[in-house]
């Protein structure tokens, strides 16, 4: 792992940069800034950013609501800037999120991923996630399908 790479809990200072990164990666289909703010302000949410040197290179989120999801967490928003991919950043963000989930006493995790997103599916499989369900037309704008993936032993 490069010494240039570090993962930290997201702070308010990083919100704008993360929003810009979302727009760069997802363009018109990027979630509105309010979604990020809601996730940031969610007391059950855990958001992390990856720095490569001084530059924000990626981010991801995990949420765990005791009443709604008693034994598991939802992982979302995993993203690495295009010019920083294939350097192990996505992997390290996943390790951070899953470590947090384990620290909370959780043993299971779930996420949704576009069925054609082979890079992300490969990454999740390498962490023991498996496809459990197909949701047709999950991404309304693009009309794409999604898999629900689970790991029952994080
Ligand atoms: C998916 C994503 C987060 C991976 O980030 P990354 O930092 O490039 O991933 P890593 O370098 O840590 O790679 C870890 C593993 O993921 C898989 N992987 C990553 N990119 C891949 C690619 N282009 N093709 C196939 N497998 C890939 C591999 O298993 C890889 O392990 P390896 O390098 O030992 O082969 C990144 O491609 C991305 O941001 N994509 C756009 C946003 C997105 O789709 N997010 C997921 C939403 S569900």
81 touches 44 (CB < 8 A)? no
pLDDT tens-place string over residues 14-73: 999 999 999 999 888 888 999 999 999 999 999 999 999 999 999 999 998 777 677 899
Angle at CA of residue 13, ends 11 and 14, nearest 5° = 75
Q: Which atom of ligand 1 is nearest to the CA of 87?
A: 11
**Count of domains for the chain:** 1
pLDDT digits over 81-110, tens only?
999 999 999 999 999 999 999 999 999 999
CATH of the domain at 116: 3.40.630.30
Q: Residue 125 — very low, low, confident or very high, per pLDDT cuts 50/70/90? A: very high
Is 100 a pocket residue for ligand 1 (Cβ < 6 Å)?
no
Adjacent-strand bridge partners of 60: 48
> Reading across the β-sheet that carries 130-139, which strands appear in turn?
5-9, 45-52, 55-63, 72-80, 108-114, 144-151, 130-139
CA 119 to centroid of ligand 1, rounded, Å: 4
What is the span of the domain harbouring residue 91?
5-151
How far apart are the CA of 65 and the centre of ligand 1, in A? Answer: 27
Pocket test for ligand 1, best of 119, 120, 121, 142 (most atoms within 8 A of CB): 119
């Amino acid at each position: 792992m490069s010494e240039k790479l570090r993962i930290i809990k997201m702070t308010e200072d990083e919100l704008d940069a993360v929003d810009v990164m979302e727009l760069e990666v997802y363009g018109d289909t990027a979630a509105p800034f309010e979604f990020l703010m809601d996730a940031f302000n969610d007391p059950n949410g855990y958001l992390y950013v990856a720095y490569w040197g001084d530059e924000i290179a990626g981010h991801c989120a995990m949420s765990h609501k005791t009443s709604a999801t008693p034994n598991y967490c939802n992982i979302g928003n995993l993203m690495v800037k295009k010019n920083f991919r294939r350097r192990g950043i996505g992997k390290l963000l996943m390790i951070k999120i899953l470590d947090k989930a384990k620290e909370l006493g959780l043993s299971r995790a779930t996420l949704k991923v576009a069925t054609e997103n082979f890079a992300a599916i490969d990454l999740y499989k390498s962490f023991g996630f498996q496809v459990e369900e197909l949701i047709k037309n999950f991404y309304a704008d693009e009309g794409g399908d999604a898999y629900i993936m689970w790991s029952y032993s994080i």
